[in-house]
Amino acid sequence: MQRPFTVMLIIPTGIGAAIGGYAGDALPVARAISAVCDRLITHPNVMNGAQLYWPLANVWYVEGYGLDQFAAGHWGLRPVHGQRIGLLLDQGIEVDLRIRHLQVADAARATLGLSLTDAVVTDQPLGITLKTAASGVTWGTIEHPDSLLRGARRLIEQEQATAIAVVTRFPDNVASAVLADYRHGQGVDTLAGAEAVISHLIVREFQIPCAHAPALAPLPLDPDLSPRSAAEELGYTFLPCVLAGLSRAPQFVTDSSLTDVVKRSAVDAVIVPESACGGSAILNLSQTQTALITVAENQTTLAVTPKHLHLSAVRARSYSEAIGILVALREGLDPQSLTPNIRPIQVRP
Partner 1 sequence: VDTIAADACKTEWVILTLPYDHPEPPQPELIEAFLRQWGEPLRWAITHVSEQGLEIEAVVFRMMDR
**x/- binding map, residues 286-315, to partner 1, per CB under 8 A?**
xx--------------xxx---xxxx----
**Candidate list 65, 70, 238, 252; residue touching partner 1; CB under 8 A:** 65
Mark the segment that binds partner 1 (CB under 8 A) among 27-35, 142-150, 208-216, 234-242: 142-150
CB of 133 to partner 1, least distance (A): 6
324 belongs to the binding site for partner 1 (CB under 8 A): no
In the window 264-283, what residues touch partner 1 (CB under 8 A)?
276, 278-280, 283
**Candidate list 85, 142, 242, 243; residue touching partner 1; CB under 8 A:** 142
Would you put residue 251 in left (φ > 0), alpha (ψ -120 to 50) or beta? beta
In the window 188-207, what residues touch partner 1 (CB under 8 A)?
193, 196-197, 200-201, 204
CA dist., res. 34 & res. 41, Å (int): 9
Going by the DSSP 8-state scheme, the letter that residue 318 receives in this structure is S
Q: Which is nearer to partner 1, 310 or 348 (CB)?
A: 310
Q: What is the DSSP string of 75-124?
A: -EEE--S--EEEEEE-TTS-HHHHHHHHHHHHHHHHHH--EE---EE-SS
- CB neighbour burial string for 200-232, b if at least 16 within 10 angstroms, e if fewer: bbbbebbbbbbbbbbbbeeeeeeeebbebbbbb
CB of 148 to partner 1, least distance (A): 9
- CB neighbour burial string for 130-167, b if at least 16 within 10 angstroms, e if fewer: bebeeeebbbbebebbebbbebbebbbeebebbbbbbb
Q: Which is nearer to partner 1, 286 or 299 (CB)?
A: 286
Mark the segment that binds partner 1 (CB under 8 A) among 141-149, 256-264, 265-273, 337-345: 141-149
| Other CB atoms within 10 Å distance of the CB of residue 172 | 9
In contact, 30 and 40? CB cutoff 8 Å: yes
**x/- binding map, residues 222-251, to partner 1, per CB under 8 A?**
------------------------------
125 belongs to the binding site for partner 1 (CB under 8 A): no
**Candidate list 94, 106, 118, 146; residue touching partner 1; CB under 8 A:** 146
CB of 274 to partner 1, least distance (A): 14
In contact, 192 and 138? CB cutoff 8 Å: yes
**Candidate list 36, 149, 234, 328; residue touching partner 1; CB under 8 A:** 149
Q: Which is nearer to partner 1, 20 or 193 (CB)?
A: 193
CA dist., res. 100 & res. 104, Å (int): 6
Site residues, partner 1 (CB under 8 A)? 12, 15, 64-65, 72, 124, 131, 133, 135, 137, 139-142, 144-147, 149-150, 153-154, 157-158, 193, 196-197, 200-201, 204, 276, 278-280, 283-284, 286-287, 302-304, 308-311
